[in-house]
Amino acid sequence: MKLRALIVDDEPPARAELRFQLEREGGVEVIGEAQSAREALALLAALEYDVVFLDIEMPALDGIKLAEGLRSGGPGHPFVVFVTAHDRHAVRAFDVQAVDYLLKPVQPSRLKACVERLRQLRRQEAPQAETAPRGEEAPRFLAGHDGESAFPVALDEISYLAAQGDAVHVVTTEGRQLQLRGATLAGLESMLPEERFFRCHRGYLVQVHEVAEIVPFFNGTFILRMKGSRDEVPVSRANVRRLKALFRLA
């Protein structure tokens, strides 16, 4: 199985060159790119990666600070490999448990050795990952997109999630709507804490504590009026029993 990689670098040519080298090396599939630490955090919240190839000197938040927020390796956590033009950060890099420290321009032999080490480390962890309880740790953020940028949305900021055609959108407590790329409601339902999120309809998943009012509707169904957004979300007949049990309705 190929390692799923995220490349984080504020320079597009550097990202393109590393992607090319990794694809030529084999054994690694680049499934995400970010030009800032903020974008990287959003992508890491949305998808699982095996390794993050991370530049150090970037605007606003540098790679070392980003790596400090990650636990390098372990089930559910990506390994960190620094890719930088400067050798002066090496000590700090390994203080945050980086797997490797590659200097630009990256030599093919060094990249090959790095990839092989990553694959060995991932194979060692595979038995632990297989026995870990599913859904043990819910994501802290979802990555919402507005068409240009990605924004991390904390679980507490979610009013509800809605399927619209082939896309899923998150509506925040402030009424902002952002698209969740590559997501499905079924996948989100299985991933998010069931005590906090209720699948009230085939096309909607609501945050329970954001329900302001439960309004009777026709044919024995209900409408949920949400607190922050004040939007109205339907409850299907198939989910009325669960709604009544959840909110202890007569």
Mean pLDDT, 10 residues at a time, over the chain (250 residues)? 89 94 90 87 80 84 71 61 79 72 91 91 60 51 78 88 86 90 83 91 94 90 89 91 89
For residue 165, what pLDDT is reported? 73
Whether 161 is in a domain gets the answer: yes
Number of domains making up the chain: 2
75 and 159 assigned to the same domain: no
Whether 140 is in a domain gets the answer: no
Whether 143 is in a domain gets the answer: no
Whether 144 is in a domain gets the answer: no
119 and 211 assigned to the same domain: no
pTM of the full predicted structure? Answer: 0.51
CATH number of the domain that residue 77 is part of: 3.40.50.2300
Whether 93 is in a domain gets the answer: yes
Range of the domain at 89: 3-131
Check: CB of residue 171 under 8 Å from CB of residue 162.
yes
Sorted by sequence, the CB contacts under 8 Å of residue 43 that are 6+ apart come out as: 6, 32, 34, 49, 143, 150
Where is 133: in which H helix or E strand?
Answer: none
Cα 121–chain centre separation: 22
